Structure 1
Amino acid sequence: MVMSWRPVHWKLFVIVSASFFLDGVLFSLVPATFFLIEELAKNATLIFAANSLAFMLGALALGKLGDVVGRRLGLIASLLIYALGTLWFVAAYWADRLDLATALATTSVINFGVGGEVGPAYSALAEFTPPRRRGAALMLAANFWNAGAAVIAVASLYYTQITGDVKTAILYTFATALALAALVLVARYHIPESLRWLAAKGREAEARALAERYGVSAPPPQAPRASLRGYWGRVAILAAAFTAQLLTYNIAAYYLPYAPGFAYGYEFAPINVAIANLGATVGAFLLLPLIDRSRKTSFTAAFAGGTATAAALAAAHGAAPETYAAVLFLNLVFSEWAWASISVLESELFPTAVRSTAVGLVTALAWLINTGAVFLEGVLGAHIFLALLTALWALGLAAAAWWKTRGVESAGKELEELT
């Protein structure tokens, strides 16, 4: 199914990129705004843990849904879920009824929907993109998550300054997210369905018709009843690496400002979110020359750099805020490299019929462990959390080294060659 880059690929790339931008906005709403509400800031650990568990459940449930109903309908379903959650939050806050229970429920619904995006979004892009550009397309699209997170963090600070009122600032921030969700929903109705998914469902005539319409090659035959049997080793190694990457990203970018003993206080939270995600955003462009040349080298380089900069971040904690922010920025560059490498691999290494399910499962396993790590935040404190960062990066480096010597080089290959 070798093909050149066509207008339909730009269309799909833009829609999926907008989706990840919105995901970053919605996931970052809580850590970027709850510092303004004293009661919620004090319960941040509980809220983060509930949200993490909801993200995990969404990845599992909607990942499976993406294989059952298709990538397009899976993405529409996830968006409707988190848009309703955001609307519920805004309504409750506007009516002065946002107690802790309501905050837990509304933000968990949002995160359930965001978690459910990953499987169908990665699958749609991987299954439609030419193999020579697949790594770059997946990486740059997912990178819009970081851009969205940075934008909403800056918006939260801006709204706080121009309004001088906590309630108005939070309402403006969440209303901005709702407006973006409405725009992305309109775009998703025009997203093309995956030709490979149609073929795997036995709908070859539809796949051929769409291929002709879009001016691309028809997909090769797909296994209609594929399962994850024989792929559990790939699930395990990717889940281990993604767990290390996810925890280090979330700890450094979102959780540390709310941990006991953090040197700069939780008022530093929106600045921390913005700087971390700006570093991650820049990181994707720095990896562009390498990602489609070698997945193995990208994977290993990401965790090697992350391990070194995590140790530097622990050493910088307590120094001038500018110094800490600079090292945080650099660490998140490598975090993006790690996320990109793992995201591309999990999108490539499973059969079409279970690809969305597999991506959701890898995601869910990592988020399950992330939930436990959030609970430990209030017990361990910032200094031990920073030491944990380095240990987790080293764990990811071990997984990457294993893949370097024993894994499959998937750069430039058709998906069917890898399964």
Structure 2
Amino acid sequence: MAEWKRVHWTLFSIVSASFFLDGVLFSLVPTTIYLTDLAQHAPVIFAANSLAFMLGAFLLGRLGDAVGRRLGLVISLTIYTAGALWFAAAFWAGRLDLASALLSTSVINFGVGGEVGPAYAALAEFSPPRRRGAALMLSTNFWNIGAAAIAVASLYYTALATDPKTAVFYTFLTAVALAAIVFLARLHIPESPRWLLARGREGDARALAERYGVPLPRAQPASSSLRGYWGRVAILAAAFTAQLLTYNIAAYYLPYAPGFAYGADAAAVNIAVANAGAAAGAFLLLPLIDRSRRASFLAAFLGGLATATALAAVHGAPASLYFAVLFVNLVFSEWAWAAVSVLESELFPTAVRSTAVGVVTAAAWLINAGAVFTEGVLGAEAFFALLVALWAAGAAAAGYWHRRGVESAARELEELA
């Protein structure tokens, strides 16, 4: 088995920084919208952002298979940095109306959505089999850390500045500064030798493997479609849809729903607590993820179902109790995200791996957009009922995979496709 080498640390660090930035960018609007004149339009903005995320995941996922993991990540970063600059400039100039807010934040989410396919593929294709699960899980966990960090920063800027306009501007300026740092790092990310082989570039793949002292993987037959893999896509999309909606509802959308007991002013605290719980969750799953994917998958959704039921029960109780249960629920949300993310990174051929991840992600985000549109109609209590129902649906998918699915832990990618 290949050992973990310096190049693996380099790739892990750059991809982790990318997910940290993704969490920051994705959380910018939910953590600041209540400070603007557009708070009443939050459901429409969030739904449009979900559709943009879906399109980015699908289109840039395919692009990641066409142009490579490295270039795909550079393109996505360029897109969402431009969107963040657009939003910040329009807001500071006093010209942030609903149309410009919808467009600029959708550009951000299009770029962030486009990160997923090439980032997952790059890490899965370079990591040694026995550490692939932990590497993917810990790297994607930096999304939660970034989301929590920007929520805390937003609270700090709000407390520091008497003018909400200044707080929002500094929050976005922080994100743009981070994007510049990550952009420089991405210029040094190594290309995937598996992708090079899939594109028929054996000489380049061999030279890269020799340069970094890693084994040259076996070439897979180049598959240009997902034919024969749609069953896997369906199971993973169902599970990811359940995880995504429950995460977004609990962490981002509930504070803006009518009837939420703690009000929209609790949005930044809610986001910070939720993502702190999610960030802690990855470390708690470490002992299990590379021992059994199937057991990790099932444990995540059963734990999420139990804690979502508890969260609905304590809504309206003192805020400290509610946020404590929210923290624990998001621990299991991270488990679920990690389990699905690792599986979708492993179970498809190299030539269409980024595309497959993009399709699974896009399917979930399309349904998420529909759920957000109902936010102003259903209200908080209906969302809590939906939260429990979605965790139950995810548990059913995880139970099926536990009985019938492939155990992919510690196996070479070429064995799984």
Range class of TM-score, shorter chain? over 0.9
Structure-2 residue corresponding to 1:350:
348
The corresponding residue for 1:227 is 225
What is aligned with 2:11? Answer: 12
In 1, Cα distance between equivalents of 2:111 and 2:197: 27
- Tell me the number of residue pairs that the alignment of Structure 1 and Structure 2 aligns: 417
Per the TM alignment, residue 221 of structure 1 is displaced from its structure 2 partner at its CA by 1.3
Residues in 2 aligned to 1:134 and 1:49: alpha-carbon distance in whole angstroms: 33
Give matches, 1:13-92, under 5 Å. Answer: 13-37=12-36, 39-92=37-90
- Aligned counterparts of 1:405 and 1:153: Cα–Cα separation in 2: 40
> Could you tell me how far 1:15 is from its partner in structure 2?
0.1
User: Which residue of 136, 139, 156 maps to 1:138?
Assistant: 136
Paired position in structure 1 for 2:163 = 165
Partner of 1:220: helix, strand, or coil? coil
Offset from partner CA, 1:217-256 (integer Å, 9 cap, x none): 1121122234211000000000000000000000000000
Alpha-carbon separation, structure 2, partners of 1:157 and 1:191: 33
Q: What is the aligned-residue identity percentage? A: 75
Conservation of the 8 A alpha-carbon contact between 1:226 and 1:351: no
1:142-161 alignment runs, 5 A limit: 142-161=140-159
8 Å CA contact 2:49–2:105 kept in 1: the answer is yes
Residue in 2 that maps onto 1:405: 403
Q: How far is 1:90 from its partner?
A: 1.2
Which of 392, 395, 398 aligns to 1:394? It is: 392
Q: State the Cα distance separating 1:107 from its structure 2 match.
A: 0.3
The secondary structure found in structure 1 opposite 2:226 is coil
Report Cα offsets for 1:133-184 as digits up to 9, x if no partner.
0000000000000000000000000001111210000000000000000000
- The amino acid that maps onto 1:29 is L
The 5-angstrom pairing of residues 315-330 of structure 1 reads 315-330=313-328
Deviations along 1:17-39, whole A, 9 cap, x unmatched? 000000000000011011111x3
Distance 1:226 1:69 in 2: 14
Any gaps of 5 or more consecutive residues in structure 2?
none
Asked if the contact 1:261/1:382 (under 8 Å) is kept, the reply is yes
Residues 341-363 of structure 1: CA deviation (Å, up to 9, x unaligned): 00000000000000000000000
| 8 Å Cα contact 2:53/2:113 also seen in 1 | yes
Judge conservation of contact 1:199–1:207 (CA < 8 Å) in 2: yes
Equivalent in the alignment of 2:368: 370
Counterpart of 2:33, as a letter, is F
Q: Which SS does the other structure have where 1:117 is aligned?
A: helix
Q: Report if the CA contact (8 A) 1:94-1:171 is conserved.
A: yes
1:274 counterpart residue number? 272
Looking at structure 2, the residues matched to 223 and 386 of structure 1 have their Cα atoms a distance apart, in angstroms, of: 46
Match of 2:136, SS? Answer: helix
TM-score (norm 2): 0.99
CA-to-aligned-CA distance 1:325-375 (integer Å, 9 cap, x gap): 000000000000000000000000000000000000000000000000001
What is the SS of the residue equivalent to 2:364? helix
SS in 2 for 1:264: coil
Task: Output the CA distance in 1 between the equivalents of 2:221 and 2:75.
Answer: 25
1:111-122 matches, within 5 Å, as: 111-122=109-120
Kept in 2: contact 1:223–1:352 (CA 8 A):
no
Give CA-to-partner distance per residue, 1:90-130, whole Å, 9 cap, x none: 11112111011100000000000000000000000000000
The match for 1:104 is 102
1:292-351 CA distances to partner (integer Å, 9 max, x unpaired)?
000000000000000000000000100000000000000000000000000000000000
From 207, 210, 213, the equivalent of 2:211 is 213
CA distance in structure 2 between the partners assigned to 1:346 and 1:304 by the alignment: 20
Deviation larger for 82-91 or 126-135: 82-91
Per-residue CA deviation, residues 254-307 of structure 1 (Å, 9 max, x unaligned), is 000000000000000000000000000000000000000000000000000000
How far, CA to CA, are the matches of 2:153 and 2:219 in structure 1? Answer: 47
Q: Tell me how far 1:57 sits from its aligned partner.
A: 0.2
Deviation at 1:410, TM superposition (A): 0.2
- Please give the alpha-carbon distance, in whole angstroms, between the structure 2 residues aligned to 1:36 and 1:225: 49
Secondary structure in structure 1 of the residue aligned to 2:38:
helix
TM-score by length of 1: 0.99
2:251 corresponds in structure 1 to 253
Unaligned ranges ≥5, structure 1: none
Query: Partners in 2 of 1:388 and 1:141 — Cα distance?
Result: 29
Matched, 1:244 2:242: yes
**Cα pair 2:259 2:381 within 8 Å, conserved:** yes
Inter-partner Cα distance in structure 1 for 2:415 and 2:228? 15
